[in-house]
């Protein structure tokens, strides 16, 4: 069979495959698309023949193009649905965190350790806060928490605050995760810096006599927000650890092996931050809950987060 | 050392498909286009929500957040692995085995964009792309993805000419070079065709337009044609 006879014989198959692929792409489905796998295999066979018989480059390019399109169509992976999403937050996420418990405690230490150290330092020598913050920022914090946080806003303003917390906090968390790609150093930096900041501000406001106001504001959403920041750090540290200590894999393979789990933990942290932003905008500063009520709800929130992460998904498969 | 950007992957059907890896300039241009699109959308949305007061401000920030972190993911998953910028340059994102990008890989490569951006203006990403032979940025390395050129091949017709048997025995590479020359004739200016055909006087024993015609005739002969006819494919 020479080249022209080959084309004459099989042209119909190629045109049908191309039309089917076009239809699948445009989602019109006029042809029988169950035919695709067999058509695709035949085109692959023709491509192999074309190469083996050294037919011309344009013919090979066209068959290659059909085979590649068919390959892309048949070997695509399905996108996760809503049910997967619910199952993830119901069980998969806390399980994943427990599987990486060592990394979790390391991230907790990297966040709360510097926070505690900075707090004690500022309590001992109040001027130490100026090493971390500008005087203007310090005045701002003092003004913000001089009174108990009874911010009188209408619901539209609450919503604006919600948008800001979503944008700001989740961006910080995802950056903490992504920066872990540099051997974990970026995550260590973001965790420790935020810890220092929190500890410093708390201690400084204790001197100013208004740390109680700050506590009533942050305690409820902080349970989710601070834990989420730590968890985003866990994801970043996992990326870093896989590069530093790849075990029996090559570094790049170790990174690829770890990255999906690390990403899932960071995404779970993003979910917690949506909850935190909601509470921070609509509850933490609201005038309708008394400070003692906020402390009580906050205590339950911390217990709830701890129970969720330690017990979530233990039963069932 | 191989200098071209073609990478081949074997499929279960027993053929190897070749992927043409995209370089930094094409990817940079696609990114600039996407950035412009994000800028236009967020500006338009900002103007619209400005009329809604505080409610609009909150809405704007949420949409801006979703645009920044979700733009690449949504297009890569639901639009055949290509954002509008990539599509306009004929690029698409695939796994390094050539299969379409999965949700995990797409989210990973888009979230790690921040690491590529450091210290400024995609510094880390650019260095990674220049070092790596598959031109991958850090996000691609972690997610196991490639950005490839993905233009469907258009079929070309050989201009008709009387078949001529080549005067000497030709190697496989030489035969394929002659057929490729003939099939790409239409994309060159007449001067360029003559310039290329004049490179092989021992084969054509002619110059100028006559040389081009003879090479074309040999291409027809090599494709198995023995009598004048027009190419059967269009």
pLDDT in tens, B33-85: 999 999 999 999 989 888 887 888 888 888 999 998 889 999 998 888 889 99
Name which residue leads in pLDDT, B61 or A148. Answer: B61
Nearest CA-CA distance, residue A206 and chain B, Å: 32
- Report the Cα B147 to chain-centroid distance in Å: 9
Q: Report the distance separating Cα A211 and Cα A145, nearest Å.
A: 8
Q: Does B111 touch chain A (CB under 8 A)?
A: yes
Q: Does B234 touch chain A (CB under 8 A)?
A: no
Residue of B nearest to A64 (CA): B17
Say which range, A45-49, B23-27, B228-232, has the weakest mean pLDDT: B228-232
Burial class (CB in 10 A: 0-12, 13-18, 19+), A291: middle
Residue of B nearest to A181 (CA): B115
Say which range, A53-62, A75-84, B105-114, has the weakest mean pLDDT: A75-84
Average pLDDT in the A50-65 region? Answer: 82
A62: chain B residues, CB-CB within 8 Å: 153, 155
Nearest CA-CA distance, residue B6 and chain A, Å: 13
Nearest CA-CA distance, residue A149 and chain B, Å: 20
Quick one: what percent of chain A has pLDDT higher than 90? 40
**pLDDT confidence band for A317 (50 / 70 / 90):** low
Average pLDDT in the A134-152 region? Answer: 75
From the candidates B6, B14, B17, which should be mutated to test the interface with A, based on the most A CB atoms within 10 A?
A: B17
A256-280 pLDDT, tens per residue? Answer: 999 999 999 999 999 999 999 888 8
Q: SS3 for B9?
A: strand
A41: chain B residues, CB-CB within 8 Å: 13
What secondary structure, in 3-state letters, does chain A show? CCHHHHHHHHHHHHHHHHHHHHHHHHCCCCCCHHHHHHHHHHHHHHHHHHHHCCCCHHHHHHHHHHHHHHHHHHCCCCCCCHHHHHHHHHHHHHHHHHHCHHHHHHHHHHHHHHHHHHHHHHHHCHHHHHHCCCHHHHHHHHHHCCCCCCCCCCHHHHHHHHHHHHHHHHHHHHHHHHHHHCCCHHHHHHHHHHHHHHHHHHHHHHHCCCHHHHHHHHHHHHHHHHHHHHHHHHHHHHHHHHHHCCCCCCHHHHHHHHHHHHHHHHHHHHHHHHHHHHHHHHHHCCCCCCHHHHHHHHHHHHHHHHHHHHHCCCCCC
Residue A164 has pLDDT above 80, yes or no: yes
Closest partner CB to B156 (pick from A58, A65, A267):
A58
Say whether B111 and A174 touch across the interface (CB within 8 A). Answer: yes
Residue B174 has pLDDT above 60, yes or no: yes
Say whether B104 and A260 touch across the interface (CB within 8 A). Answer: yes
Say whether B115 and A181 touch across the interface (CB within 8 A). Answer: yes
Q: Does B108 touch chain A (CB under 8 A)?
A: yes
Nearest CA-CA distance, residue A181 and chain B, Å: 7
State the pLDDT at residue B234: 35
Closest partner CB to A7 (pick from B107, B183, B232):
B232
B143: chain A residues, CB-CB within 8 Å: 256, 259
Residue B31 has pLDDT above 80, yes or no: yes
Q: Angle at CA A302, nearest 5°, toward A147 and A97?
A: 135
User: In this structure, how many other beta carbons lie within 10 angstroms of the beta carbon of residue A103?
Assistant: 22
**pLDDT confidence band for A52 (50 / 70 / 90):** confident
Nearest CA-CA distance, residue A6 and chain B, Å: 11
Say whether B153 and A71 touch across the interface (CB within 8 A). Answer: no
Nearest CA-CA distance, residue B5 and chain A, Å: 16
State the pLDDT at residue A80: 66
């006029």: which residue's tokens? A30
Nearest CA-CA distance, residue A203 and chain B, Å: 32
CB A234 within 8 A of CB A245: no
Say whether B100 and A75 touch across the interface (CB within 8 A). Answer: yes
Q: Does B46 touch chain A (CB under 8 A)?
A: no
Q: Report DSSP state, residue B223.
A: T
In DSSP notation, B17-58 reads EEEEE--HHHHHHHHHHHHHHHHHHHHHHHHHHGGGHHHHHH
Q: How many residues does chain B have?
A: 234
CB A292 within 8 A of CB A251: no
Averaged pLDDT of chain A? 86
Average pLDDT in the A184-197 region? Answer: 93
Residue A105 has pLDDT above 70, yes or no: yes
C-alpha closest to that of A193 among A176, A171, A210, A209 = A176
Residues 112-151 on B with a CB inside 8 Å of A are: 112-115, 118, 138, 141-144
Closest partner CB to B183 (pick from A4, A58, A69):
A58
Q: Does B55 touch chain A (CB under 8 A)?
A: yes
In this prediction the pTM is 0.80
Say which range, A73-87, A129-143, A214-228, B83-97, has the weakest mean pLDDT: A73-87
Question: What sign results for the dihedral spanned by CA atoms B25, B27, B31, B34?
Answer: positive
Say which range, A252-256, B215-219, B225-229, has the weakest mean pLDDT: B225-229
CB A260 within 8 A of CB B107: no
From the candidates B12, B18, B65, which should be mutated to test the interface with A, based on the most A CB atoms within 10 A?
A: B65
Residue A28 has pLDDT above 70, yes or no: no
Q: How many residues does chain A have?
A: 317
Residue B114 has pLDDT above 70, yes or no: yes
Q: Does B232 touch chain A (CB under 8 A)?
A: yes
Averaged pLDDT of chain B? 84
C-alpha closest to that of A269 among A297, A233, A244, A299 = A233
**pLDDT confidence band for A243 (50 / 70 / 90):** very high
């903490």: which residue's tokens? A176
State the pLDDT at residue B232: 46
Average pLDDT in the A127-155 region? Answer: 77
Closest partner CB to A3 (pick from B59, B65, B224):
B224
B206-225 pLDDT, tens per residue? Answer: 888 888 888 888 888 887 77
Quick one: what percent of chain B has pLDDT higher than 90? 19
Average pLDDT in the A154-175 region? Answer: 86
A289-299 pLDDT, tens per residue? Answer: 788 888 899 89
Say whether B15 and A57 touch across the interface (CB within 8 A). Answer: no
State the pLDDT at residue A78: 63
**pLDDT confidence band for B173 (50 / 70 / 90):** confident
Say whether B54 and A171 touch across the interface (CB within 8 A). Answer: no
Residue A220 has pLDDT above 90, yes or no: no
Say whether B54 and A7 touch across the interface (CB within 8 A). Answer: no
In degrees to the nearest 10, what's the CA dihedral of B101, B128, A238, A241? 140
User: In this structure, how many other beta carbons lie within 10 angstroms of the beta carbon of residue A62?
Assistant: 22
């Amino acid at each position: 069979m020479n080249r022209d006879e080959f084309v004459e014989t099989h042209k119909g198959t190629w045109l049908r495959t191309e039309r089917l692929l076009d239809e699948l792409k445009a989602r019109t489905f006029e042809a029988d698309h169950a035919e695709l796998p067999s058509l695709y295999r035949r085109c692959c066979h023709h491509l192999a023949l074309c190469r083996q018989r050294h037919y011309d480059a344009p013919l090979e390019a066209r068959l290659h193009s059909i085979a590649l399109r068919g390959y892309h169509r048949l070997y695509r992976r399905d996108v996760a649905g809503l049910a997967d999403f619910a199952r993830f937050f119901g069980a998969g996420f806390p399980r994943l965190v427990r599987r990486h418990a060592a990394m979790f405690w390391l991230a907790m230490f990297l966040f709360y350790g510097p926070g505690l150290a900075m707090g004690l330092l500022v309590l001992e020598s109040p001027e130490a806060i100026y090493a971390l913050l500008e005087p203007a920022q310090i005045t701002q914090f003092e003004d913000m928490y001089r009174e108990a946080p009874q911010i009188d806003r209408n619901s539209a303003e609450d919503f604006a605050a919600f948008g800001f917390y979503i944008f700001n906090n989740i961006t910080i968390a995802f950056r903490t995760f992504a920066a872990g790609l540099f051997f974990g150093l970026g995550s260590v930096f973001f965790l420790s810096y935020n810890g220092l900041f929190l500890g410093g501000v708390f201690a400084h406001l204790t001197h100013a006599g208004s740390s109680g106001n700050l506590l009533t504001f942050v305690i409820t959403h902080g349970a989710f927000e601070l834990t989420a920041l730590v968890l985003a750090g866990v994801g970043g540290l996992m990326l870093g650890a896989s590069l530093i200590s790849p075990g029996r894999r090559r570094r790049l393979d170790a990174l690829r092996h770890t990255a999906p789990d690390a990403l899932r933990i960071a995404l779970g942290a993003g979910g917690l931050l949506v909850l935190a932003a909601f509470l921070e905008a609509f509850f933490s500063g609201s005038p309708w809950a008394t400070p003692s009520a906020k402390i009580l709800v906050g205590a339950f929130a911390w217990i709830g987060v701890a129970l969720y992460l330690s017990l979530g998904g233990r039963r069932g498969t | 050392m191989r200098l071209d950007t073609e990478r081949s992957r074997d499929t279960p059907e027993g053929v190897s498909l070749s992927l043409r890896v995209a370089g930094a300039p094409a990817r940079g241009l696609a990114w600039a286009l996407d950035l412009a699109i994000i800028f236009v959308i967020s500006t338009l949305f900002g103007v619209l929500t400005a009329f809604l007061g505080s409610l609009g401000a909150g809405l704007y920030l949420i949409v801006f957040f979703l645009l920044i972190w979700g733009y690449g993911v949504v297009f890569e998953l639901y639009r055949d692995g290509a954002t509008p910028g990539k599509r306009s340059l004929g690029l698409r994102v695939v796994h390094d085995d050539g299969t379409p990008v999965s949700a995990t890989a797409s989210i990973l490569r888009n979230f790690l964009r921040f690491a590529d951006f450091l210290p400024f203006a995609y510094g880390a990403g650019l260095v990674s792309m220049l070092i790596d032979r598959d031109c991958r940025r850090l996000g691609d390395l972690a997610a196991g993805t490639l950005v490839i050129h993905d233009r469907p091949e258009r079929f070309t017709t050989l201009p008709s000419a009387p078949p001529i048997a080549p005067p000497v025995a030709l190697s496989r590479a030489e035969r394929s070079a002659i057929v490729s020359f003939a099939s790409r004739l239409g994309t060159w200016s007449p001067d360029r065709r003559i310039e290329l055909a004049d490179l092989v006087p021992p084969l054509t024993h002619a110059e100028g337009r006559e040389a081009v015609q003879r090479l074309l005739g040999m291409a027809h002969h090599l494709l198995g044609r023995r009598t004048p006819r027009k190419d059967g494919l269009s």
